[in-house]
Structure 1
């Protein structure tokens, strides 16, 4: 079958790989009908997560049609249209029982790398390096889905492919940030990043009753999407003092909840960007924590900061003093998709969560390398490139 393969740093190609096969009785094989780029994929492509091997298939956000089922599968039949959580979870371990699905003890079949890096291993993820299990990704014609009764969800009739597709990761990730960040009615919420995840975090905050939701970015087309489709306010950080503006819009205190949805390749005006970029490229730090620093400094005393952006290892100039002395609660997580996807599909069916506007560029899988170039370089106002195998 055809698939998009990682061939080296900033090198992608569409090639031929073996068709997936059932390995365990709880597996299904899904014919991929939509699969989408994600900002965290850019960290893999750029070599910032050094656990890729030549020929690895990328992609972790997808939906499709079930074409083969293992003997133990109970919730799915051949022909079902399903959206699949990007994180692979068994549904039976202690962490899954706590609904901390991305921390599953059994989803990552290659835990030694992340145990060494982080002390313990999270669950597995489709198409996200051998540190996260080495699972083949979704930018392909077919994909094997382990623990299908736990991680695959039937899409309601009437919900379009482009809408349901983003429940796989972006919408679930964004909702998790607002939920676990503690957003409640009356809050002022600030979100760093107006990509798909940031927009979905903002939408979640709106639906959870926040009084004001403010999204920070530098790209005007994304900020327009926030205003038109999400119902939130915006700040362009290249033209406004973010900290001062946030205080102005929050009664002088700062936001109650700050959600960072940027990740390890953050941009910023001023010398801090050059400082962090040089240190990252020289491997003196693994990540650029610019947005996290700003969120911690901007958050009100006693507030909450949730880190949604992907980080791999170590950062410099982390404001631990501000965190401690301001009494902040700081949390982060990979996406507990199984916890949120059924609810999101229901809200999508009701029209409360819409995502079609995020799919700015839809193209055949053969054009995936160009799709990633457009996505990375923000060409033609690309927010997300969707591939149709």
Structure 2
């Protein structure tokens, strides 16, 4: 089959690889009908995610048609259209039973490696480093899905691939980011990053009752899409974000702040972001937490900082004094996608939201390597890429 494979920093290839096979009785094989390039894939593309190996198949936003099921899988049948969560979960362990599927104790076969870095291991993920299981991803013609009786959701009749594809990751992630804010009527939510997850967080915040959303970015197309979703926008290259948010909230700060950027903010956003970049380049740091620092300072007393941007290691100079003295709450997670699927599928069915609004580029797998660069460099108005094998 054809698949997009990683061969080092900035080196993605579309090449032939062996077809996946059933390896466990709970597995399923799907024929991929749509997949996407995620912003967190760009961290791999840029070479900052450890434990990648040449030839790894990327991709964790995937859906398709079931073509084979293992003997113990009684949930799916051949011909089902399914969306596959990016978090792999057994459905039976301590965390899965409590709805924390991204903390699954069984799905990461390399959990000892992850525990050395993080103290304990999260769930395995598709197409995202051997620290998290080394599972082949879904930017391919076929995908093996472990624990397929506990993860994929069958798509109801009448919904297109593009309407439901993002249930695999960015819609649940953006929704969770907003849910973490415990939104009350009249709240103002500030969101850093107007990429795909940020766009989903904007719309989710309004779905959950926010009165105002302030969205922060610098890319014109992203800011325009945020405004289409009802947000007020700030350009961090033109505005002092702290001063503007204080002005917009009568000096109080936002009720909650969402970091939908993570470890790779714009290099020249501020002096501290330049310092972060230098530290990472000289191996004096692992991440660049400029956005998180700013979100903390811009949050009102006893507000919430919601973090869904990807961080991988250790963060430097986080203003914990501000957070502690002002009573901030931090909430963060890799999204337990399975927890959100029924609710969000219903919202799509009822017409409350159509997540396909974020798509700007559609192509085949063979165009994937070039589109990784287009997406990374924010060229050609690129906000979200969907590939159809």
TM-score, length-scaled by structure 1: 0.97
Residue of structure 1 in register with 2:245 after alignment: 246
Using the TM superposition, give the Cα deviation of residue 271 of structure 1 relative to its aligned residue in structure 2, in angstroms. 2.0
Using the TM superposition, give the Cα deviation of residue 215 of structure 1 relative to its aligned residue in structure 2, in angstroms. 1.1
> Is contact 1:3–1:15 with CA below 8 Å preserved after alignment?
yes
In structure 1, how many angstroms separate the alpha carbons of the residues matched to 2:244 and 2:270? 18
Alignment gaps of 5+ in structure 1: none
Residue of structure 1 in register with 2:53 after alignment: 53
Residue of structure 2 in register with 1:106 after alignment: 106
- Deviations 1:31-54, CA, capped at 9 Å, x for gaps: 111110111111111111121000
Using the TM superposition, give the Cα deviation of residue 303 of structure 1 relative to its aligned residue in structure 2, in angstroms. 0.6
Residue of structure 1 in register with 2:361 after alignment: 361
**What SS does the corresponding residue of 2:144 show, helix, strand or coil?**
strand
Residue of structure 1 in register with 2:168 after alignment: 168
In structure 2, how many angstroms separate the alpha carbons of the residues matched to 1:126 and 1:271? 36
Residue of structure 2 in register with 1:255 after alignment: 254
Using the TM superposition, give the Cα deviation of residue 155 of structure 1 relative to its aligned residue in structure 2, in angstroms. 1.3
In structure 2, how many angstroms separate the alpha carbons of the residues matched to 1:5 and 1:296? 38
**What SS does the corresponding residue of 2:65 show, helix, strand or coil?**
strand
Q: Given the alignment of the two structures, is residue 179 of structure 1 paired with residue 165 of structure 2, yes or no?
A: no
TM-score, length-scaled by structure 2: 0.97
Residue of structure 1 in register with 2:226 after alignment: 226
Q: Please say which of residues 25-34 and 239-248 is displaced more in the overlay.
A: 239-248
> Is contact 2:102–2:335 with CA below 8 Å preserved after alignment?
yes
Q: Please say which of residues 241-250 and 203-212 is displaced more in the overlay.
A: 241-250
> Is contact 2:104–2:122 with CA below 8 Å preserved after alignment?
yes
In structure 1, how many angstroms separate the alpha carbons of the residues matched to 2:121 and 2:76? 29
Alignment of 1:369-384 (within 5 A): 369-384=369-384
- Equivalenced residue count is 388
Q: Given the alignment of the two structures, is residue 137 of structure 1 paired with residue 137 of structure 2, yes or no?
A: yes
**What SS does the corresponding residue of 1:216 show, helix, strand or coil?**
strand
Alignment gaps of 5+ in structure 2: none
Using the TM superposition, give the Cα deviation of residue 158 of structure 1 relative to its aligned residue in structure 2, in angstroms. 2.2
In structure 2, how many angstroms separate the alpha carbons of the residues matched to 1:243 and 1:197? 22
> What is the RMSD of the two structures over their aligned residues, measured on CA atoms?
1.1
- Deviations 1:110-156, CA, capped at 9 Å, x for gaps: 11121001100000100000011000000100001111122100112
Using the TM superposition, give the Cα deviation of residue 337 of structure 1 relative to its aligned residue in structure 2, in angstroms. 0.2
In structure 2, how many angstroms separate the alpha carbons of the residues matched to 1:254 and 1:70? 53
In structure 2, how many angstroms separate the alpha carbons of the residues matched to 1:269 and 1:51? 29
In structure 1, how many angstroms separate the alpha carbons of the residues matched to 2:351 and 2:239? 33
Using the TM superposition, give the Cα deviation of residue 185 of structure 1 relative to its aligned residue in structure 2, in angstroms. 2.4
Residue of structure 2 in register with 1:67 after alignment: 67
> Is contact 1:358–1:384 with CA below 8 Å preserved after alignment?
yes
Alignment of 1:1-389 (within 5 A): 1-228=1-228, 230-267=229-266, 268-389=268-389
> Is contact 2:199–2:358 with CA below 8 Å preserved after alignment?
no
In structure 2, how many angstroms separate the alpha carbons of the residues matched to 1:221 and 1:278? 29
> Is contact 2:62–2:83 with CA below 8 Å preserved after alignment?
yes
> Is contact 1:344–1:353 with CA below 8 Å preserved after alignment?
no
In structure 2, how many angstroms separate the alpha carbons of the residues matched to 1:296 and 1:97? 33
